[in-house]
């Protein structure tokens, strides 16, 4: 009989602590292995530690699991998690599968999995939370839910039938784009493509922006051209230009033709510049206002939640027209400067004209020096006629200056431990010795 039960979907994202109460990371998944006559046995957790590295935490190192936290012995193997043969990740691979009731009463889809600790202290898969097919013709109706023991159902893979990724996507709903990107790339290839096919365009676009170019191209290649064009439309123009720059020219042109004309125009403009210049690194969509606009109007624009943080740090003042390429560039008004003036103050009266913009042909190194020298997070970029064509931000420069594989943690040294966990004993077991279980 079980003495403790925890549902995996609720466990995902919970903090992992050592015995002293110091936070080590957070849970991303549960790893199980199938057995012939018994429910799957839990062998460990996939945990994310500082640096967004996903590591394996043996269930033997876990002293307590609850819906709010996981307590460990304090020993963690910092080698990046790689699933072994026979291992199944509950969130990534099990949730969403279709099962059939052994009593012949029909089929259902797994929406959550409970793991249970028995009297011997071992964790097994216990109850399944299932959703049966809907009985109403309404597109908004959902089927009834029920609980079942593992022994009461059987799995069945129907040829040509894709495994639903709806529940898995729901469990990822709170992840930041960079975390979602890492989580997607850790999925098995087949499961990755299933999830990608069901992710909303905006969400997938955000995740792609955080991936290496090779992975961006690989995922876009797996989509049909119309869906790929929709994803590129949803991406920031500079990110879309970066990925299109790694696609053969004929395929690139086909995708540009399928994109929204306005979005495609911005991307085409960026593709004209070399990737190691300010023009190649910039975004063509900074905040542009007239000299007669007020502080109140500028603050209202930078409050938009979808605006990139670096671009919200300043507005750029130009002559008409006010869309890039604009009229002649007049100057910059920084966010902090706006806060020192009344809402009705004209931007033209508080322009900072002491900082020169960078030409679109400026090298990435030159842009980096200016950002560092003047403690800025973005710089205006102008063409030969001194018209504003975009803005380059510090994160664009970092993406360019960092090594191409900076997103991969495998070859990088582990990040320094926070002060609170400096005393944590960390185990770096070799693969030949196996995981410490």
Q: What is the CATH number of the domain that holds 106?
A: 2.40.10
Q: What is the CATH number of the domain that holds 76?
A: 2.30.30.240
Residue 218 falls inside a structural domain: yes
Residue 303 falls inside a structural domain: yes
Residues 299 and 326 in one domain: yes
User: Which pLDDT value is given to residue 171?
Assistant: 67
User: Which pLDDT value is given to residue 67?
Assistant: 66
Token pair recorded at residue 2: 């079980």
Q: Is the pLDDT of residue 102 over 60?
A: yes
Distances in whole angstroms, Cα of residue 297 to Cα of each of 236, 300, 321: 24, 5, 17
Report the percentage of the chain scoring pLDDT > 70. 86
In 3D space, the residue among 380, 339, 377 whose CA is nearest the CA of residue 362 turns out to be 380
Residue 179 falls inside a structural domain: yes
The model's pLDDT over 116-128, given as tens digits with 9 standing for 90+, comes to 988 778 899 988 9
DSSP state of 387: B
150 and 36 Cβ atoms separated by less than 8 Å: no
Residue 123 falls inside a structural domain: yes
Residue that finishes a domain, picked among 242, 275, 308: 275
Asked if the bond preceding 57 is cis, omega within 30° of 0, the reply is no
Q: How many domains does the chain have?
A: 4
Q: Is the pLDDT of residue 362 over 90?
A: yes
Residues 223 and 301 in one domain: no
Please state the length of the chain: 437
CA dist 275 and 302 (Å) reads 28
Residue 216 falls inside a structural domain: yes
Greatest distance between any 2 Cα atoms in the chain: 79
Residues 81 and 97 in one domain: no
Token pair recorded at residue 320: 């008409």
The model's pLDDT over 278-319, given as tens digits with 9 standing for 90+, comes to 999 998 989 999 999 999 999 999 988 778 888 889 999 999
User: Which pLDDT value is given to residue 164?
Assistant: 57
* Bridge partners, residue 346, by sequence: 294
H/E/C letters for each residue in 333-347?
EEHHHHHCCCCCCEH
Token pair recorded at residue 163: 């495994």
Give the neighbor-by-neighbor strand order of the sheet with 288-289: 288-289, 314-318, 329-334
Residue 280 falls inside a structural domain: no
HSE at residue 39, side-chain half, CA atoms within 13 A, is 21
CA dist 295 and 346 (Å) reads 6
Report the percentage of the chain scoring pLDDT > 90. 39
Residues 393 and 317 in one domain: yes
Residue that finishes a domain, picked among 275, 299, 332: 275
Residues 365 and 313 in one domain: yes
Residue 416 falls inside a structural domain: no
181 and 213 Cβ atoms separated by less than 8 Å: no
Distances in whole angstroms, Cα of residue 430 to Cα of each of 45, 78, 79, 191: 18, 10, 8, 28
Q: What is the CATH number of the domain that holds 199?
A: 1.25.60.10
Q: Is the pLDDT of residue 79 over 50?
A: yes
DSSP code per residue over 210-236? TS-HHHHHHHHHHS-HHHHHHHHHHS-
Where does the pLDDT of residue 168 fall: very low under 50, low under 70, confident under 90, or very high at 90 and above?
Answer: low
Residue that finishes a domain, picked among 275, 301, 324: 275
Where does the pLDDT of residue 432 fall: very low under 50, low under 70, confident under 90, or very high at 90 and above?
Answer: very low
The model's pLDDT over 169-228, given as tens digits with 9 standing for 90+, comes to 766 777 788 888 888 888 878 888 888 888 888 889 999 998 888 899 999 999 999 999
Which domain does 125 fall in, by range? Answer: 93-155
Residues 64 and 100 in one domain: no
CA dist 36 and 34 (Å) reads 7
Residue 320 falls inside a structural domain: yes
Token pair recorded at residue 311: 């671009």
CA dist 208 and 198 (Å) reads 14
The residue assigned the tokens 């013709």 is: 137
Q: Provide the 10 A C-beta neighbour count for residue 416.
A: 9
Residues 213 and 145 in one domain: no
Q: Is the pLDDT of residue 415 over 60?
A: no
């Amino acid at each position: 009989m079980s003495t403790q039960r925890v549902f995996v979907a609720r466990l995902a994202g919970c903090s992992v602590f050592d015995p002293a109460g110091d936070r080590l990371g957070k849970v991303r998944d549960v790893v199980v292995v199938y057995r012939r006559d018994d429910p799957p046995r839990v062998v460990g957790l996939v945990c994310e530690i500082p640096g967004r590295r996903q590591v394996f935490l043996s269930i033997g190192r876990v002293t307590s699991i609850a819906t709010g936290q996981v307590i460990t012995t304090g020993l963690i193997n910092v080698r990046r998690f790689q699933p072994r043969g026979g291992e199944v990740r509950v969130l990534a691979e099990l949730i969403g599968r279709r099962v059939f009731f052994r009593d012949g009463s029909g089929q259902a889809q797994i929406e959550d999995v409970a793991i249970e600790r028995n009297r011997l202290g071992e964790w097994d898969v216990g109850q399944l939370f299932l959703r049966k097919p809907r009985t109403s013709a309404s597109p908004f109706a959902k089927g009834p839910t029920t609980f079942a023991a593992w022994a009461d159902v059987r799995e069945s893979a129907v040829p040509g039938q894709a495994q639903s990724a709806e529940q898995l996507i729901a469990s990822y709903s709170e992840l930041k784009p960079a975390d979602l990107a890492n989580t997607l790339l850790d999925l098995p290839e087949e499961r990755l493509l299933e999830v990608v096919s069901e992710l909303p365009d905006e969400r997938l676009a955000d995740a792609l922006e955080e991936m290496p170019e090779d992975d961006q191209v690989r995922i876009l290649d797996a989509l049909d051209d119309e869906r790929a064009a929709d994803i590129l439309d949803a991406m920031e123009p500079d990110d879309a230009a970066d990925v299109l720059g790694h696609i053969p020219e004929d395929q690139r042109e086909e995708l540009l033709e399928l994109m929204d004309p306005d979005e495609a125009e911005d991307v085409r403009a960026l593709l004209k510049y070399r990737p190691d210049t300010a023009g190649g690194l910039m975004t063509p969509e900074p905040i542009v206002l007239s000299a007669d606009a007020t502080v109140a109007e500028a603050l209202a624009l930078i409050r938009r939640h979808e605006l990139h943080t670096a671009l919200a740090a300043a507005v750029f003042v130009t002559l008409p027209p006010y869309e890039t390429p604009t009229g002649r560039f007049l100057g910059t008004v920084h966010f902090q400067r706006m806060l020192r003036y009344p809402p009705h103050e004209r931007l033209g009266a508080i322009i900072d004209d002491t900082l020169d913009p960078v030409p679109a042909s400026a090298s990435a190194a030159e842009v980096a020096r200016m950002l560092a020298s003047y403690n800025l997070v973005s710089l205006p970029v102008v063409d030969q006629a001194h018209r504003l064509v975009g803005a380059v931000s510090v994160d664009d420069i970092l993406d360019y200056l960092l090594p191409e594989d900076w997103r991969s943690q495998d070859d990088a040294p582990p990040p320094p431990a926070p002060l609170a966990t400096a005393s944590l004993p960390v185990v770096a077991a070799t693969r030949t010795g196996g995981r410490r279980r």
